[in-house]
Amino acid sequence: MSTPVRAVLALGSNLGERSSTLTDAVAELVADPAVRLCRVSPLVQTRPVGGPGGQPDFLNLVVEVETTLAPLDLLAWCQSVEQDHHRTREVRWGPRTLDVDVIIYADVVSDDEILTLPHPRAAERAFVLQPWAWMDPEATLGGRPVAELAAEAADLQGLSLYTAGEDG
């Protein structure tokens, strides 16, 4: 692919030095010349959604990139950055050092078992939607404004802007 396309990625961490992990991961994602950073959302702190109880809170952010990578290649690149941060996949929605999800890739709609686009749960997750709406107030997902979807998300009450120094 030679023409860059817009993609939105959601990053989260609830283990270790969450803030620096996310900052480092964004830098690593755009270290590939095929991925260019366009915008970064504010960091938000959120309660875990799903998964086992007793997990630490997450830090989350959303980035918009332009990429010449094909969708599955972008996913593979995101997963390699996760691996660099010692991501393990032992428990679904369990605690993790780094999670990177491809939320949208241009206007591609796909039910591929490896990469479903748009991300199948993004439209109901405030930890994706609210930072995305702050980053891009005009953003839409499935034909609806992202800000509107965020306002309806069940997990919105557990979300707050992150204040530096709260990590640990």
Q: Which residues are catalytic?
A: 87, 96, 99, 101
Sequence-distant (≥ 6) Cβ neighbours of residue 75 within 8 angstroms: 102, 114, 115
* Structure token pair of residue 51: 């998964």
Alpha helices in 58-125 (DSSP H): 71-84
> Containing H/E element for 103?
strand 99-105
Q: How far apart are CA 100 and CA 25, in angstroms?
A: 9
Mutual angle of helices 18-29 and 71-84, in 10-degree steps: 140
> Containing H/E element for 132?
helix 126-135
